[in-house]
Amino acid sequence: MERDYKLFEPIEMWHVAHLSTFLSQLESSGARTATIRINSPGGSWMAGQLMRVQLLSSKLKVTTVNEGLVGSAATLLYAAGNVRQCQPHAKFMMHQVSSEPGYVQVKELKKAVAAQEALNRSTAEMYVVASNKTVEEWEQLMEAETWLSAEQAHTMEFCTEVLPAKPGLVAADASMAAADVHKYYMSLIPPTNEMKLDEVKNALAQAGVTLAADAIDADVLAAIAKLKNQAPTPEAPAPKSEDDNNELAKLRKKIQDLEESRQSDQQKQIENVVNSAISTGKITATQKDTYTSLLKADFTNTTKALDSMPGRTSTAQRANSQAASGAANTARNDWDFDKWSKEDERGLREMKRNDPDQYQNLLTSSGII
C-alpha cells in the first residue's frame, strides 16, 4: 500500500476528507509510519489547520517533507510532522492570515481585525511548538512575510533534517512569485507509480495466491517472497502451430478491445462525476483538469470527497430561488445599490464575492461608476 500522501497543489477543504481516508486506510493496514510530501503555496487556513489536527491525532509516526515550497497554510500541515525533512533547495514562506472583508461597516471591520489577530496569534503558537522561536518572534516574521531557506528553517528547528543534495537541483530565484516558485519545484519532482495494497492483492490472486480480506503489508510481502521461492525454472516453449498463433492473435485482440472499452467507460464515468460537481457548484470549471486527474488516480476516495463537499450557488441563483417563494422577493431583481445596502447588506457582500459581474452591473446601473 502506498504510504506517501502527496500534496502538490493549493490546499482546499476537500483535502481534509482525502487525508482522513488515507490515514485511516494506512492505520488499518497495520502500518506504523506515513510520509506527507508537500509542494504547496498554501490555501485555506481552516483546511490546513484541520489537516494538522489529523496528523497530530494519528497513531502513525508521520514524516513531513518539503519537496520544494511549503507556504502559508501548508506550513501548518508541515509543522505537525514528528520528523520534518526538507530538500536542500526548498523554501518556506510564512505570512499573516488573510481574508477579504468585503462591503462591511466599521463595527464589522473591527470584529474582523480582532478575529485576524487571534488567528495570527494561534498560528504563531503552532510554529512555537515546532521551533526554537518565541510567539512574538514568529508574529514579527509573519508580519514581514518571511521566506526561509532550508538551512534557515533548520537553524530555527522548524525543519529537523535537511536531505542530501541532488545534482542539478537548485533553489528557485528569489524574485519569483509564490505561484511561480510552486510550478518551478513541481518540475523538479520526479513522477512515481506505486501499486496500492488492493492492486497487489489482485495481482497475487491472478497468480493463484489468495489473501485474507484483512491482510496487511507484512502478509503481502510474505506471500510475494513465498511465490518467488516456488517459481519453477522456465522451460523452453514448444513451437506453436499456425492455429495456435491465430488463436493467440484473436485473444490478444479481444483483450485489447476489452481494455479500450474499459478505459472508455471509465473516462465517461469520470467526466460525468466532474461535470456533475461543476453543475452543482462544488468545483469550478477551472478545477476540472485537477479533479479529472484525481479521479483517474483514486476514483473511490475522490468521489467520496466530492460528495461531502457543499454545493455553491451564485448570488443571482439564490435571489431567483428566493423570488420563487413570493412576489416580494421578485422585486429584488429591480433593487439598486442603495436598496441592496439597506435591505440585504450580507447579500450585497456575497454578490461582490461570488458574482462579480452582477455586482459590477449593479454599480453601473445605480450610477456609482
Average pLDDT of the residues in 208-214: 71
Higher pLDDT, 93 or 249: 93
pLDDT interval class at 135 (50, 70, 90): very high
Backbone angles phi, psi at 154, to 5 degrees: -70, -40
Residues whose CB falls within 8 Å of the CB of residue 36, separated by 6 or more in sequence, listed in order? 4, 5, 7, 55, 62, 63, 64, 65, 77, 78, 81
CATH of domain 4-186: 3.90.226.10
Show the cell assigned to 143: 508580519
pLDDT recorded at residue 282: 79
Task: Please choose, from the candidates 155, 168, 193, 188, the residue with its C-alpha nearest in 3D space to the C-alpha of residue 69.
Answer: 188
Average pLDDT score over residue span 30-59 = 92
Q: What are phi and psi of 159, to 5 degrees?
A: -105, 130
pLDDT band at 358 (very low <50, low <70, confident <90, very high): confident
Section 107-134 average pLDDT: 85
Q: Between vectors from CA 263 to CA 257 and to CA 264, what angle results, nearest 5°?
A: 90
pLDDT reported for residue 284:
79
- pLDDT for residue 211: 72
The residues of the chain that CATH labels 3.90.226.10 are: 4-186
Reported confidence tier of residue 323, pLDDT bands at 50, 70, 90: very low
Q: Look up residue 111 and give its amino acid.
A: K
Percentage of residues of the chain with pLDDT beyond 90 = 31
Confidence of residue 325 (pLDDT cuts 50, 70, 90): very low
Q: Is residue 278 packed enough to be buried (19+ CB in 10 Å), middle (13-18) or exposed (0-12)?
A: middle
Read off the pLDDT of each residue in 56-73 and give the average, rounded to a whole number. Answer: 94
Range of 85-99, 111-125, 315-329 with top mean pLDDT: 85-99
